[in-house]
């Protein structure tokens, strides 16, 4: 509020716009003087001349003194908060206005419990007759600060103050942009089934300017329409690496994969863009293989061998001690022997033996011996499909299973006594095999 004081007077000396002395010198009816006193004042001057009342006296100058008094507290309102991720600045604003046009100081406070508040910063406005926006920012939050927090503002003109209400905000998990999760290994590679590929991603926090180290991450690999998840922990350089050794349940051809942060307490889940690698399943999973599946004389517990010294398991071409598989019960033995030029794999398990080859014109011998599997390794073959001894019903029935995924198999399926299998590809249909038993 502005208070205006108007005082008439007669000048006793020359006045100017700086400090001067005035004397009240008004005559009374007795010819004396009244209210004689002196004042030292500072004011602006206005020249006035005229008759004020019926007493008719002359005033050659006058002044108006204006006194400014602080009678209103500053307004403070419209507080806002933007941003919440702990690895980026969280910004706060408020509007302040003082109708008295005083100098105003705005103070910003935060609290972890809505009880004890900490001063975060101050700012001053020398001319706040209109609404002025004040900006504050906090850029030193850490993962440990993730929680709900509170903030408020105060505004003071030195004698009077005002305060906003308390609002809450959340410090949230950090977010890494997708462009900062990049493939380091695996993209555009081609591997064979049962070979191992490294799938590696690097995760970098551009806001902190550091690798995302020691955080939970995952790599996802697509196979037959679904994604398989493999977890890892980023190392000191922000790399997450998994190793994949696809078996025959992985289809041949391209596989999409991607990776990123997953299930971490400090960073929100974010994945990279997708990349691909290719699996060549032909060598291990799409070539001809022979499989024998049975229990000798109908009794369980038969022993199985891959070569002369190895037991149950999967063996690639370079890992088999001898190119045959065998199953025995101590008295009888049945086997499959590679007779082609290139072994693919040997796979043996309880009650099942299988051999695969990786070239056209695959050939297998199916020996039956009257004692241990070790004898098979000492025999030489006179013909690729000639058993060592004739099979008869007294030895026990043998189930022969020819596995060739995606291929239609035609021909005879049962035969007793001695026999020879002749397997040919149908010349008029590449997806069909013809088996003759002779």
Task: Please give the pLDDT value at position 293.
Answer: 74
Q: Which residue has the tokens 């001690």?
A: 321
Measure Cα distances from 213 to 216, 230, 238, 262 in Å: 9, 18, 5, 13
Q: What is the pLDDT of residue 377?
A: 67
Q: How many other CB atoms are there within 10 angstroms of residue 203's CB atom?
A: 24
**Average pLDDT for residues 5-28, to the nearest whole number?**
39
Find the angle CA(348)-CA(409)-CA(299) to the nearest 5 degrees: 35
CB proximity list for 316: less than 8 A, separation 6 or greater: 194, 345
Distances (CA, A) of 34 to 8, 12, 60, 96: 15, 15, 19, 51
pLDDT of residue 335: 84
3 state SS of 396? coil
- What's residue 363's pLDDT? 64
Residue 384 confidence (pLDDT) above 70? no
Under 8 Å between Cβ of 376 and 358: no
Q: Are 364 and 338 in contact (CB under 8 A)?
A: yes
Q: How far is CA 258 from CA 176, 196, 433, in A?
A: 15, 17, 39
Q: Identify the structural domains of the chain with CATH numbers, from first to last.
A: 2-68 (no CATH), 75-171 (2.60.40.10), 187-197+217-283 (2.60.40), 287-437 (no CATH)
H or E, element range at 285: helix 282-285
| Cα radius of gyration rounded to whole Å, the chain | 49
Mean pLDDT of 18-30: 40
DSSP 3-state percent helix, strand, coil across the chain (nearest 5): 5, 50, 45
The pair of structure tokens assigned to 46 is 């206005």
Q: Output the pLDDT for position 222.
A: 95
Measured CA to CA, the distance from residue 331 to residue 303 in angstroms comes to 11
Query: In the predicted model, what is the mean pLDDT of residues 248-252?
Result: 82
Token pair belonging to 136: 């504050």
State the Cα torsion 207-209-213-218 to the nearest 10°: 50
Which one is predicted more confidently, 131 or 64?
131
Angle at 22 between CA 16 and CA 28, to 5 degrees: 140
Neighbours of 206 (CB within 10 A): 12
Whether residue 89 is predicted with pLDDT greater than 90 in this model: the reply is: yes
Beta strands in 224-288, from DSSP E residues, in sequence order: 226-233, 239-244, 253-261, 270-271, 275-280
Residues 281-304 have a mean pLDDT of: 71
Secondary structure (3-state) at 133: strand
Residues in the chain: 438
CB 193 within 8 A of CB 207: no
Residue of 434, 385, 438 lying closest to 411 (CA atoms): 434
Predicted confidence (pLDDT) at residue 314 exceeds the cutoff of 70: yes
């Amino acid at each position: 509020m502005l208070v205006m004081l108007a005082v008439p007077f007669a000048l006793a000396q020359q006045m100017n716009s700086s400090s001067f002395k005035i004397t009240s010198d008004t005559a009374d009816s007795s010819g004396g003087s009244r209210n004689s006193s002196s004042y030292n004042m500072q004011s602006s001057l206005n020249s006035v001349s005229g008759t004020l009342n019926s007493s008719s006296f002359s005033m050659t100058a006058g002044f108006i003194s204006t006194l400014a008094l602080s009678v209103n507290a500053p307004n403070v309102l419209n507080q806002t908060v933007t941003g919440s991720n702990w690895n980026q600045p969280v910004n706060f604003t408020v509007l302040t206005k003082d109708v008295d046009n005083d100098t105003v100081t705005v103070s910003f406070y935060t609290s972890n419990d809505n009880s004890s508040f900490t001063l975060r910063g101050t700012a001053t406005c020398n001319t706040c007759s209109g609404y002025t926006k004040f900006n504050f920012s906090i850029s030193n939050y850490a993962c440990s600060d993730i929680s709900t927090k509170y903030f408020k503002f105060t505004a003071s003109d030195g004698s009077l103050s005002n305060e906003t209400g308390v609002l809450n905000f959340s410090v949230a998990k950090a977010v890494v942009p997708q462009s900062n999760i990049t493939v380091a290994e695996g993209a555009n590679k081609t591997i064979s089934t049962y070979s191992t590929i490294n799938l590696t991603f690097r995760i970098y926090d551009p806001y902190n300017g550091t690798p995302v180290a020691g955080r939970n991450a995952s790599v996802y690999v697509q196979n037959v329409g679904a994604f398989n998840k493999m977890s890892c922990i980023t190392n000191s350089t922000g790399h997450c690496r998994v190793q994949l050794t696809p078996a025959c349940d992985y289809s041949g051809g391209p596989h999409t994969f991607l990776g990123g942060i997953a299930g971490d307490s400090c960073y929100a889940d974010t994945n990279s863009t997708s990349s691909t690698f290719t699996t060549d399943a032909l060598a291990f999973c799409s070539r001809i293989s022979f499989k024998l599946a049975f229990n000798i004389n109908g009794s369980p517990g038969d022993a199985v061998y891959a070569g002369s010294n190895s037991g149950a398991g999967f063996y690639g071409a370079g890992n088999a001690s001898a190119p045959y598989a065998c199953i025995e019960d101590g008295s009888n033995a049945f086997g499959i022997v590679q007779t082609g030029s290139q072994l693919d794999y040997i796979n043996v398990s309880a009650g099942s033996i299988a051999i695969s080859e990786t070239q056209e014109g695959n050939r297998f011998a199916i020996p039956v011996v009257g004692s241990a599997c070790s004898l098979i390794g000492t025999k030489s073959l006179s013909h690729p499909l000639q058993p060592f001894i004739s099979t008869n019903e007294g030895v026990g029935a043998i189930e022969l299973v020819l596995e060739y995924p995606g291929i239609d198999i035609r021909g005879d399926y049962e035969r007793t006594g001695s026999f020879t299998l002749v397997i040919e590809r149908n010349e008029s249909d590449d997806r069909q095999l013809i088996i003759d038993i002779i």
